[in-house]
Chains A and B, each alone.
Chain A
């Protein structure tokens, strides 16, 4: 079984600034992947970034990067140069054995 915890329900960031969203997880599996998904008001769940647990190097996708601390079971998302279109709900998720477990999500607002 796995659990994913996102303790901050809401965050706000000024446009063009950087924000970090926190996530911790727990799993008994040795082979797992971690994800951040974005869900804008349209409700379409969009993949932001993926991290394979066996890789030490932190994943990066343009303005999005992660800080993966395997020993601490921590997986935070950093958004650089925040844009208005980044406003959405962000979910941290863990998949092992084809079962995807989500955190509760965090609502990110971007101030112009």
Chain B
């Protein structure tokens, strides 16, 4: 099976812009979770989508949003970018049961100038 894929892999934006990141889960997986990784804060949970519905949400401002499509692909959007949004954004997929193992994509590295 193909693994989790994320596009783009690298992105440079300026403050105030918005960005959309994409994640394609492993075939058959219905849950997609997003994480932000920074040197200072480590790995922080953003949100999780299951069957096109947001099932869990972390403590991030409303500028961070996401959605999931009927084919389980997910997108994450960040509006009004701030310098502090520079990070590695990781997506993980699982079959969707509560304690299922999550498998990660290679990440999208976002740099905000």
- Seen from chain A, the residues whose Cβ lies within 8 Å of a Cβ on chain B are 31-33, 35, 37, 42-47, 50, 52, 91, 95-105
Min distance, Cβ A28 to any Cβ of chain B, angstroms:
14
Among B98, B103, B106, point to the contact of A97 (Cβ < 8 A).
B98
Chain B residues with CB under 8 A of A31? 98-99
Contact B50 A47 (CB under 8 A): no
The answer to whether residues A45 and B90 also contact, given A91-B43, A100-B33 and a CB cut-off of 8 A, is yes
Contact B101 A35 (CB under 8 A): yes
Chain B residues with CB under 8 A of A45? 90, 92, 104, 107
The answer to whether residues A98 and B50 also contact, given A44-B107, A91-B43, A104-B42 and a CB cut-off of 8 A, is yes
B45 touches A (CB below 8 Å): yes
With the chains together, A102 CA to B90 CA distance in Å? Answer: 13
The answer to whether residues A50 and B101 also contact, given A100-B33, A101-B45, A102-B43 and a CB cut-off of 8 A, is yes
Min distance, Cβ A110 to any Cβ of chain B, angstroms:
22
